[in-house]
Amino acid sequence: MNIQTIAGKLKRPATAHKGTFGRVFILAGSRGMTGAAHLAGMAALRSGAGVVTIGIPDAVYFVIAKRESELMIRPFPSTHKGTLSLKGFPELERFCATQNVLAMGPGLSQHSSTQKLVREILRATKLPLVIDADGLNALKGYLKVLDACRGRAVLTPHPGEFVRIFGGKLDDSDILRKKRALDTAQKHDVVIVLKGHRTVIAAPGGDCHINTTGNPGMATAGSGDVLTGIIAALMGQGLSYFEAACLGVHVHGFAGDLASKKVGQVSLTAGDILRFLPDIFKTLIPS
């Protein structure tokens, strides 16, 4: 997989407008975890998405709405715990019909009503999907839901999430990680991004890419939320699921490497990864 070739597909025509680069909808956030929604949304914008809308519980609307003026913020019904409620499904389904890509999971929580909502959306929507964090947790014991997503989803589990959802075992063996990622991708007809040192990106057709960027400083809260936003934005700009995942993981790690040179691995935060995304895209796609 040639990363530079993929990145070259993102060069912008002079006649482009915001609709050219995709409407990305990110379902994220809950009381106490609003930062996840912010990081994913801004990562999507910094990765070239034309319009990014964050779907959040109405209970935390003002917390997020005042942070970034570039993000569209759309509130939906909340549970009493400040998480997205199943009651919002009809409205969410209608809004999804106006979008190009749906990412879901960062900071959603494991509240039962929220998890049911995630599964209902996955069954109903026809959008390209990026599923992360609590979006993945909603699949535990409900893998049949993935049948509705065949051929149009990127799943981004870390090793703990992968085992929790798909069972079996994982260790640090590159051979085992690659085998399990490929087997799962082929079984469920989805792209698997098995995160960690030398992240594995596996496609259902058997293609596999091992990422070489990134560093231990990126093992910090919010790092995965940034990756979710990046991949969703790249899908919205027309890359294939596998291409978006490969380039997204590369860019994410590259930004983390640049950040670590500036702040060190110990002090590196997800916000640092986000902050260095423009430098990476400027390097990969010269104006």
Q: Report pLDDT digits (tens) over 95-151.
A: 999 999 999 999 999 999 999 999 999 999 999 999 999 999 999 999 999 999 999
Dist CA 249 CA 128 (whole Å) = 18
- The CATH number of whichever domain residue 263 belongs to comes to 3.40.1190.20
Q: Is residue 142 part of a domain?
A: yes
In a domain, 218, yes or no: yes
Q: What is the largest CA-CA distance in the chain?
A: 50
Q: Is residue 216 part of a domain?
A: yes
Asked if 253 and 199 count as a contact pair (C-beta separation under 8 A), the reply is: yes
Mean pLDDT, the chain, whole residue set: 96
CB neighbour list of residue 128: distance below 8 Å, 6 or more residues apart = 100, 101, 102, 152, 153, 235, 241
186, part of any domain: yes
Tell me, what's the pLDDT at 210?
A: 97
Dihedrals φ, ψ of 269, to 5°? -125, 170
Q: State pLDDT tens for residues 188-208.
A: 999 999 999 999 999 999 999
- Going by their DSSP bridges, the two strands 153-155 and 208-210 should be labelled as unpaired
Q: Which domain holds residue 274?
A: 21-281
> Does 54 reside within a domain?
yes
pTM: 0.97
Of 110, 123, 107, 90, give the one whose Cα is nearest residue 28.
Answer: 107
Q: Look at the block and give the residue holding tokens 């999907």.
A: 129
Query: How many domains does one find in the chain?
Result: 1
Tens-digit pLDDT profile for residues 51-69:
999 999 999 998 888 887 7
Q: Which residue has the tokens 């640090």?
A: 172
